[in-house]
Amino acid sequence: MTMNVLHKTKTTALLKGVMSAAASLMVLAACTDSYPTLIHNDGSTIGNDEVYDRVPLMMFVNEQDYFSIIATRGTGVFDDEHAGKLANSLFYVYAFRAAEDADGNIVHNTDYRETSSGGTASDQDRLTAADCLLDGADYNFGMPTKLTADRNGTLEPQTTQKLYFSSAFQDVGYDFFVYHIDDFEPTAANTHREADRIYYDLEIDGSQDIMSGMAPKLTRDVLDEKIRDGKLTITKSDQEQILDIGNYCTFAAHRGVYPVMAMKHRLTRMQFLAYPGDESADNVVIKGISVESRYRGRLTVAARNTDETGIEFDSDRRELELREASPDGVSPCPPLSSDGYVVSYDGSMASLPWDERPGLKIGESLMLAPDSEYALTLYYTQTVDVGGGKTEQRDLKSRYLLKAQETSYFKDPETGAYIFRPGYVYSVKIVVYGLQEIKVSANIEGWEYGGDIVLDPMEDDGVLLE
């Protein structure tokens, strides 16, 4: 059984000389130097004359999570080819006491209005400063961090001060939450820091990714994996103590057990490629793409009930327009090129099916609210024969309905509904015929792979709206 025991450790031997070899290798020293009432100099005596060590607070994110991140405010993809994006993106972290109440020195429910400076935004309902281990200097944000240059998942807080785990409460466990946000600016109106949760009101415009997550509870499976991966040596009795606490704390950090936070993409990603369908494909210039999506939602980044974290969207919809990639991985994505996109056909392609011909990527990606279907609008100009040996260029548009298929690849494990799932990237492939109707197909690749879908107006599983 997992328990959160919130009291001062009473065994002096437990508190002396517990800096392990793993802890001595810590390279991260950042954040606040004065966690109120809890931080004391090495060797100082507190209360019952027990000696407390200070343990620097180290934090990590899973490597697999951040290489495919799309920035949350129009700065585009970052991965191995986007070093600028990787170096400049911020990840915000909150850490709050995990137990709702306890029998020790801390007996109240965790209050998410508390800050690591010991009060609330208005300094009302001040408690013991033990509820919040970590947040940012700005009450509306978590602690801003960046990935270190070695790209091993280490998060380095962006402050000149130092942060430590609690010295006074060695076995108080904390939940660690992380979210990725770019130039979204929280205000008093869109930030909600309530007693049991923190959430933001936000709107997406198609160029943003939203990621959030937390470090898993310290169950037997999670602890065993950390021991294997970190090559840690932890005694059986210490393992049981860590499991009884169930969350990240000073006692666990002394033994090299630190929070590794797993982030989830909260949106569905679509990328677009055009292929020549016949020799007249260059008569068509693709000028724009938009997808109708829900756009206004609420992102819960931290909560007493950790299952309540994530994003929910209102029912209102609007057209989200595809944009170009950011020129430097930092500035916002500009509008799609006014020159448009043209694909060319040559004779060597005659024996190849269209999906084996060279494809042309259009713009960056669209990030959408997960849904069961989307209406996609394709804007293009086409050279049209008007008779008498004359042609003219016409502005045209076509709308297509993209529907999730009723297969296991689209089944939401939480609701059972069939949707375009968050964390999946769908490659929407546009087959261009100069004198025929343009075709659209899509398959899944990238973040998560779930098989192929075909959304073609010429087939039963695709619908041409207009």
Same domain, yes or no, for 53 and 148? yes
For the chain, how many structural domains are there in total?
2
What's the pLDDT at 387? 81
Question: Which two three-digit tokens encode residue 414?
Answer: 């939480």
Residue 308 falls inside a structural domain: no
Last residue of a domain, one of 265, 284, 308: 265
Of 450, 449, 430, the closest CA to residue 439 belongs to 430
For residue 30 the two structure tokens come to 């950042």
Amino acid at 180: H
> Which of 265, 283, 309 is the last residue before a domain boundary?
265
Ranges under pLDDT 50 in the chain: 1-52, 66-82, 121-129, 445-447, 449-462
Q: In whole angstroms, what is the distance from residue 393 CA to residue 47 CA?
A: 84
Looking at residue 113, what is its pLDDT? Answer: 92
Whether 3 maps to a domain, the answer reads no
Distance CA 13, CA 252 (A): 15
**Distance between CA 411 and CA 417 in Å, rounded?**
6
Going by C-beta distance under 8 Å and a sequence separation of 6 or more, which residues neighbour residue 33?
Answer: 39, 161, 162, 163
Nearest by Cα to 450 from 268, 321, 281:
268
Same domain? For 203 and 76 the reply is yes
Residue-range definition of the domain harbouring residue 105: 12-265
Q: Do 250 and 8 contact (CB within 8 A), yes or no?
A: no
Element at 223 (helix H, strand E): helix 220-230
In a domain, 172, yes or no: yes
Cα–Cα dist 426/59, whole Å: 32
Three-class secondary structure of residue 301 per DSSP? strand
Q: In this structure, are residues 176 and 135 in contact, taking their beta carbons and an 8 Å threshold? A: no
Structure tokens at 258: 């630190």
CATH of the domain at 389: 2.60.40
Same domain, 256 and 286: no
Tell whether 254 and 284 lie within a shared domain: no
Query: Is there a single domain that holds both residue 140 and residue 279?
Result: no
pLDDT digits (tens, 9 = 90+) for 54-82: 788 999 988 655 444 333 333 444 444 44
**Considering the domain boundaries, does residue 460 fall inside one?**
yes
Output the pLDDT for position 258: 95
Asked if residue 307 belongs to a domain, the reply is no
Spatial separation of the C-alpha atoms in residues 271 and 158, rounded to whole Å = 33
The helix (H) or strand (E) run that includes residue 185 is none
**Whole-angstrom distance between the N-terminal and C-terminal Cα of the chain?**
59
Structure token digits, residue 213: 């997550």
Instruction: List Cα–Cα distances, 287 to 82, 99, 321, 336, in angstroms.
Output: 26, 54, 11, 8
Residues 198 and 288 in one domain: no
Where does 1-95 have alpha helices with state H?
Answer: 12-15, 21-24, 63-66, 83-88
Cα distance between residue 93 and residue 155, in whole Å: 9
Same structural domain for residues 260 and 326?
no
Amino acid, res. 75? T
Is residue 395 in some structural domain? yes
Closest C-alpha among 170, 29, 147 to residue 93 = 147
Where do the H-state alpha helices sit in 136-219? Answer: none
A 10 A CB-CB count for 406 gives 11
Per-residue b/e over 282-307, b at no fewer than 16 CB within 10 Å? ebbbbbbbbbbbbbebebbbbbbeee
In 3D space, the residue among 54, 42, 261 whose CA is nearest the CA of residue 162 turns out to be 54
Give yes or no: residues 279 and 246 share one domain.
no
Residue 448 CA to residue 206 CA, distance in Å, equals: 19
Return the pLDDT at 198.
97
Do 92 and 29 lie in a common domain?
A: yes
Nearest to 53 by CA among 99, 82, 12, 94: 12
309 within domain boundaries: no
Count CA atoms within 13 Å of residue 195 on its CB side: 7
Check whether residue 383 and residue 446 sit in a common domain. yes
Any idea what DSSP says for residue 355? G
Q: Please tell me whether residues 289 and 427 are part of one structural domain.
A: yes
Tokens of 356: 């084996």
Structure confidence at residue 120 (pLDDT) = 52
- Do 337 and 232 share a structural domain? no
The answer to whether residue 452 sits within a structural domain is: yes
User: 461 vs 197, 406, 453, CA distance in Å?
Assistant: 42, 11, 9
pTM to 2 decimal places: 0.80
